[in-house]
């Protein structure tokens, strides 16, 4: 999804889940409002995402899109129904003029 699509759909949904799959260090520097950090490269990624609701939409992002694509595959294999990946990651989000927080 484009940054505009994510902005228009996630922030108007009452039950969507926004996951930043980057490292905690990257998350601390900047992240999208209301995001939770679950790093896809950590060994406990699958254990942590088990706490998410598989029947609610999940929006994923990383820096440019590679790690979130990997996370999307893992979530799909785990039975998540609605998975949306931010195209171009937080880099594209910021370049599109949307705000982040730290």
Q: What is the reported pLDDT for 44?
A: 97
Residue of 62, 71, 72, 90 marked active site: 62
What are the pLDDT digits (tens) for 24-80?
Answer: 999 999 999 999 999 999 999 999 999 999 999 999 999 999 999 999 999 999 999
Q: What is the reported pLDDT for 28?
A: 98
Total-model pTM: 0.95
> Would residue 62 show up in a list of annotated catalytic residues for this protein?
yes
Contact status, residue 11 vs residue 57, Cβ threshold 8 Å:
no
Look up residue 27 and give its two tokens: 């998350």
Q: Residue 81: give its domain's CATH number.
A: 3.40.250.10
Residue 60 covered by a domain: yes
Contact status, residue 86 vs residue 60, Cβ threshold 8 Å:
yes
Q: What is the reported pLDDT for 21?
A: 99
Residue 38 covered by a domain: yes
Q: Into how many domains does the chain fold?
A: 1
Contact status, residue 25 vs residue 63, Cβ threshold 8 Å:
no
Range of the domain at 19: 3-95
Categorize the per-residue pLDDT at 3 as very low, low, confident or very high, splitting at 50, 70 and 90: very high
């Amino acid at each position: 999804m484009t940054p505009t699509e994510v902005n228009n759909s996630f922030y108007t949904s009452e039950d969507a889940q926004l996951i930043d799959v980057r490292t905690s260090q990257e998350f601390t520097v900047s992240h999208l409002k209301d995001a939770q950090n679950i790093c896809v490269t950590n060994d406990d990624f699958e254990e942590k995402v088990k706490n998410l609701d598989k029947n609610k939409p999940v929006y994923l992002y990383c820096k440019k899109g590679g790690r979130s694509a990997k996370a999307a595959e893992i979530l799909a294999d785990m039975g998540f129904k609605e998975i949306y990946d931010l195209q171009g990651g937080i880099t594209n989000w910021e370049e599109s003029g949307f705000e982040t927080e730290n």
